[in-house]
A = this chain, B = another copy of it.
Amino acid sequence: MPNPSAAMLVVGDEILSGRTRDSNMHHLAMTLVEAGIDLVEVRIVPDDPDAIINAVRALSESCDHVFTSGGIGPTHDDITAENVARAFDLPIAIRGDAYGILETHYAAAGLDFNEARKRMARIPDGARLIENPVSAAPGFIIRNVHVMAGVPTVFKAMLANVLPGLAGGEKVLSETLRLECGEGDIACQLGKLAEKYPDLSFGSYPFRENGCYGTNIVVRGKSADQVEGAIDDLKTVVMN
């Protein structure tokens, strides 16, 4: 059986302008591999209603799980929550439980719980909250879409909170063989191995180090025996 599929939607002008370097995607990718969920697409879009709505609809339809990051803070350019709601034609309004969490948090911190911060209590109808142990403002899950913060510490904490509730598949194992030859030197044999092991994936990644070049071959699959067998075959090929 194939593993469940996932997509990520990163929302934010700051990523597309190069101001901020996204790190959530890499964290999500590594976490999903461990959980046996295949990340099959990532999209990065600006803080634009139509861009968010279209991407949420497309990814929610094509994948089992969708994870969004960014755009759920208190400022005017944080428009992810309302546009995820619009993508599913759902109303969104300030909700009591989210409001209570924020009210308690700001009271304890001695900070003004102003109109801008109250926006963070807006939750689409029917969504479940995702706890935010870092800065209180919750994310939410609606249909198969997990709406989470862009701040990396918060994103990580929210992801850790939702993961146990997701049905995973078999973990994909990977093994790397480092070769001191060019990618092109091994490419023909690698192609033949890929045909011999149709359930495995073979990646080849050239590198340069201290003026020398080489290639890392990464073999990935769900069967440890097959991965090991392919690595052994590779070693035999290279030695001949």
Could you list which residues of chain A lie within 8 angstroms of chain B, going by C-beta atoms? 13-21, 25-26, 29-30, 32-33, 38-46, 51, 73-77, 111-112, 114-117, 119-120, 151, 172, 174, 182-188, 190-191, 194, 201-206, 218, 220
- Decide if B188 touches A13 in the complex (CB within 8 Å): no
A228 to chain B, nearest CB (A): 19
Contact B40 A16 (CB under 8 A): yes
Nearest Cβ on chain B to A231's Cβ, whole angstroms:
16
Complex A-B: 22 CB contacts under 8 Å: A13-B201, A17-B33, A17-B174, A18-B30, A18-B33, A19-B205, A19-B218, A40-B51, A41-B43, A42-B43, A74-B183, A74-B184, A75-B183, A76-B190, A77-B204, A114-B185, A114-B187, A114-B188, A116-B187, A116-B191, A117-B184, A151-B206
Q: Are B187 and A20 in contact (CB under 8 A)?
A: no
How far, in Å, is A77 (CB) from chain B's closest CB? 6
| Residue contact B115 to A188, C-beta cutoff 8 Å | yes
B77 touches A203 (CB 8 A): yes
Chain B, residue nearest A207 (CB)? B151
Question: Complex: how many Å from CA A76 to CA B191?
Answer: 5
Contacts of A120 on B, CB cut-off 8 Å?
184
| Interchain CA distance A227-B134 in the complex, whole Å | 33
Contact B77 A201 (CB under 8 A): yes
Q: Complex Cα distance A39/B151, Å? A: 22
Which one of A14, A74, A75, A194 has the highest number of Cβ atoms from chain B below 10 Å of its Cβ? A75
Whether A188 and B116, one on each chain, are in contact in the complex, defined by CB atoms closer than 8 angstroms, is yes
Task: Verify A19–B115 contact, CB threshold 8 A.
Answer: no
Rounded to whole angstroms, the CA-CA distance of A51 and B40 in the bound complex is 9
Neighbouring B residues of A182 by C-beta, 8 Å: 111
A75 CB contacts on chain B under 8 angstroms = 183, 186-187, 190-191, 202, 204
Return chain B residues, CB-CB under 8 Å to A16.
29, 38-42
Q: How far is the CA of A15 from the CA of B21 in the complex (A)?
A: 15
